[in-house]
A = this chain, B = another copy of it.
Amino acid sequence: MARPLSDEKRAAILAAAIKIVAVEGVEAATTRIAKAAGVAEGTIFVYFSTKDALLNELYLTIKRSVADALTVDHLGGGTAVAGLKVVWTNYLRWGLDHPEERRAMAQLGVSERLTAQTRAVALGSFENVDALLQGVIGDRFGGSVAYASAVMAALAEASIQFIVANPAQFDAVASNGFDTLLRALDAA
């Protein structure tokens, strides 16, 4: 029987791709990813049929990692606002802990190499967050979670950039940022 595909190697390729894509963009050569992963050039194509397949998979992997980080705590219990605050704080923390993933995602997000299918699947990972947002906004904004979701993502990005420049103020910025979000959503 042939040797089975190695999960470590696959993970190493994805991890290397995060680093390389973060700094060089999606047009970075696969050779460079292979080198960073410590595998041969051809090995990438043993685990991913094409470079595009690798990039789409990479996007999904990061998105899932974010989604997992957001909902690592039990969210069922309290109010929607309380749950959302947990999500908010977890997201800021994830962003600060994963600068390369954030930058890689920015590169992937504007790339024409992501399929519509990939984007759709990625969105699906955030259903429980959307449910919380729904609970917070009620029927404001036409009951549309999309708008609230964009606002939250945008404010979170602004907050993360601010904390990156002022790392000591995590708690204050996180707290004030959440208040800003609630005000923006008219839920303060």
A contact set with B: CB distance below 8 Å = 2, 23-27, 40, 42, 103, 106-107, 110-112, 141, 144, 146-147, 150-151, 153-155, 157-159, 161-162, 165, 176, 180-181, 183-186, 188
A147-B162, A162-B146, A186-B180 known; A23+B112 contact, CB < 8 A: yes
Q: How many copies does the complex hold?
A: 4
Q: Hey, which chain B residues are within 8 Å of A23, CB to CB?
A: 112
Q: Is the Cβ of B110 less than 8 Å from the Cβ of A110?
A: yes
The 8 Å CB contact of A112, one of B25, B153, B181, B183, is B25
Q: Is the Cβ of B157 less than 8 Å from the Cβ of A150?
A: yes
CB distance from A157 to the nearest CB of B (A): 6
